[in-house]
Chain A
Amino acid sequence: MSTMTRHQLPDIRPDAERPTSTPPRLSFSQRLSRFDVKASPYLYIAPFFVLFGLVGLFPLVYTFVVSLNDWDILSGPGDWIGLANYGTELSDPYFWNSLFNTLSIFLLSSIPQIIAAVFIAAILDQNLRAKTFWRMSVLIPYVVTPVAVAIIFSSAFSEKYGLINNILQSFGLDPVMWKTEVLPSHLAIASMVNWRWTGYNALILLAAMQAVPRDIHESAALDGAGSFRRFFSITLPSIRPTMIFVIITATIGGLQIFTEPKLFNPQSANLGGPHREYQTTVLYLWDMAFNRGNFGKASAIAWLLFIIIVAFGLLNFLISRRIASVESAGISTRRARRLAQYRAETDASSAVPTTPDQVPASVEPAAVIAQERRS
């Protein structure tokens, strides 16, 4: 009993009202302990906020300040010119060229990749022998770094003596100008991204597929749905939130693509192809800032790209919310009814209590890992 009164109560709720009977005078150790309780939560999060503010947010905000100036790498900050850098960039064909290349490579890499990843996840989502082995095997490309991938693929896509053109020619086909034409170079760069990331995304989608309660599959099978029907009517709708998350993170990473186009043909006169065939926006930014030394314009490019990325993210988010709200109304009630019926028919004792809508997919951290990936 005495220990109970001597120690201060475990107070992890500094906001809670204190009992009025608190003695007016606290000993030093009590006051210290109270300070400990109040200050510790802030102390623990402080390193993150301070460092993130310094190296993450401040540079981003300061980029905007730089973009409003006529700022050269050598002469330093010049005149305040308002939004003039934005005007120049928006009327610069090279900026639009870089944007077109970025979007083209992004679409060529994300669309086939998501389709392939769903397909691979569906293959892995079976009652396989040596599951772990097959899961690991789709992840092999992920351990090859983007620089190594770019080097390997840029050799394979060489116009002369490249692996791909050799094979094409041995079938009597014409060699493709992978490094000097627009669409072939975009395909080649997209193939690097696809090769490295498809298996990774397949595993994320596989996890979402495995979280679909087996009962739903059973009841559908009882109703006579074959495996294809079940895939399209159960699996695909259930993994949609995860797919949307994969798409959003792929967008954030894909629009900042740099390494692959940078190293695709380092001998070319311009950054990103002899005639900028595959100069992406981050590559254009790099060229403007560190080769041409125009920090003002480069910062304007950075902010334009920032706005585009945020806009894409919001668009994805809104579209996915729209789809979800329209669909969930019809499908889930029907599914719930069938499931209840099915459960009533089968043994009631064994089932883990699950509801049809509890397929967990609100936020996917692993997918976020992918966010910083394609730099």
Chain B
Amino acid sequence: MSTTVQTRETSAESGDTRASNPPRQRKRRALGIERRPGFLTYGLLIALFLGGAYPLWWSFVVGSSDNKVLGDTWPPLLPGGRFWDNVASVLDTVAFWQALANSVIVATVITASVVFFSTLAGYSFAKLRFRGREGLMVFVIATLAVPTQLGIIPLFMLMKQFGWTGTLGAVIVPTLVTAFGVFFMRQYLVDVIPDELIEAARVDGANMFSTFWHVGLPAARPAMAILGLFTFMTAWTDYLWPLLVSPQNPTLQVALSQLQSAKYVDYSIVLAGAVMATIPLLVLFILAGRQLVSGIMAGAVKG
């Protein structure tokens, strides 16, 4: 296990290990393993980059022009000057700011709840001993593969019964906890907190909760950040459930889809809306893209 972690850290972070040992490195060079890749590789990478970015750029180009550019034989490459006009049309058509605020509230509450409860349960599974621990953990792992989305019909009936439809509460409640979060935090905490640390805190007279608070929580912080990032993304992008329970008080995704469902679709306005709705996550990506990448990669190898 320890070697596993080591491999992960060294290889995922940088290529430093490769340079750490001069004779080996020379040998590797001679074998052609560590050769710098050539133009073909960078050419392919640039093509990938363009393929990933172009649809977004194209939306911006169309979203800043009027509808007529869609008729051009060759797709336009440069933005027009009508972006703010189109933005104004979007703001007239749907309650964009309200929807944005709703999405922020929904995603924030869900993230806080998932991260807190997952850390609490993950800590208990990883570091405390109690009767039935193994069995309950197997249950958590088994539920990872259960498509809970298929329970929407009774969940919808419940929300209707409580009179919650049309409120953000109905959007939030079904995803307050996830089995994945518990599993993820447990996997992280089981290695990262030495048992001695918990024992020491107990000897010093700390009760169970303050041990969790002062030992478990600080140690869990990096994993909490990753879990939070991905939970936020999932909550932000969710569409089916918010569309079902709260179309009259929409989240951003629902509002965006309403823009497209009008009888007559002006694609330059719809695409301007798509660009506007993408900006928050684009900002998140610029600020935390590195963490997203290392989160995906670290999670993938953690065993």
Q: Which of A209-260 contact B (CB under 8 A)?
A: 210-211, 213-214, 217-218, 221-222, 227, 242, 248, 252, 255-256, 258-259
| B174/A266 in contact, CB under 8 A | no
User: Are B293 and A132 in contact, with the CB atoms below 8 A?
Assistant: yes
Interface centre among A55, A256, A310, A361 (most CB of B within 10 A): A55
Among the listed B21, B73, B144, which residue makes an inter-chain contact with A371, where contact means beta carbons less than 8 Å apart?
A: B144
Task: Flag the segment in B42-50, B79-87, B88-96 that touches A.
Answer: B42-50
Residue of A nearest to B176 (CB): A51
B11 near A211: Cβ-Cβ < 8 Å? yes
Q: Could you give, for residues 234-274 of chain B, a 1 whenever the CB lies within 8 Å of some chain A CB and a 0 otherwise? A: 10111111001000000001001100110101010011011
**Which residues of B have CB within 8 Å of A366?**
295-300
Q: How far is the CB of A269 from chain B (nearest CB, A)?
A: 13
The reply to whether A195 and B278 form a contact with Cβ atoms under 8 Å apart is no
CA distance A152 to B295 in the complex (A): 28
Interface flag for B192 (CB, 8 Å): no
- The smallest C-beta distance from B90 to any residue of chain A, in angstroms, reads 12
Across the two chains, which residue of chain B brings its CB closest to A8?
Answer: B202
Residues of A within 8 A of B31 (CB): 218, 221-222
**B residues in contact with A325, CB < 8 Å:** none
Q: How far is the CB of A86 from chain B (nearest CB, A)?
A: 15
Is A94 an interface residue when CB atoms closer than 8 A count as contact?
A: no
Q: Contact flags (1/0) for A117-129 with B, using CB distance below 8 Å?
A: 0001001101111
Return the contact of B151 from the options A59, A124, A369 (Cβ within 8 A).
A59
B71 touches A127 (CB 8 A): no
Number of chain B interface residues as a range: 35 or more
| A155 lies within 8 A of B271 (CB) | yes
Please, how many residues of chain A have a CB less than 8 angstroms from a CB on the other chain? 135
C-alpha spacing A44/B230, complex, angstroms: 23
Q: B147 to A256, Cβ gap below 8 A?
A: yes
Asked if A263 meets B260 with Cβ closer than 8 Å, knowing A15-B131, A137-B45, A137-B49, the reply is yes
Enumerate chain B interface residues (CB-CB to A < 8 A). Answer: 3-4, 6-8, 11-12, 14-15, 18, 21, 23-24, 27-28, 31-37, 41, 44-45, 48-49, 51-53, 55-56, 58-59, 62, 70-75, 117-118, 120-121, 123-125, 127-131, 133, 136, 140, 143-158, 173-180, 182-184, 187, 195, 198-200, 202-203, 205, 207-209, 212, 230, 233-234, 236-241, 244, 253, 256-257, 260-261, 263, 265, 267, 270-271, 273-274, 277-278, 281-282, 284-285, 289-290, 292-293, 295-303
9 new A-B contacts, CB < 8 A, other than A143-B282, A369-B296, A372-B178, are A134-B45, A144-B55, A146-B237, A146-B239, A147-B239, A211-B11, A282-B149, A295-B153, A364-B300
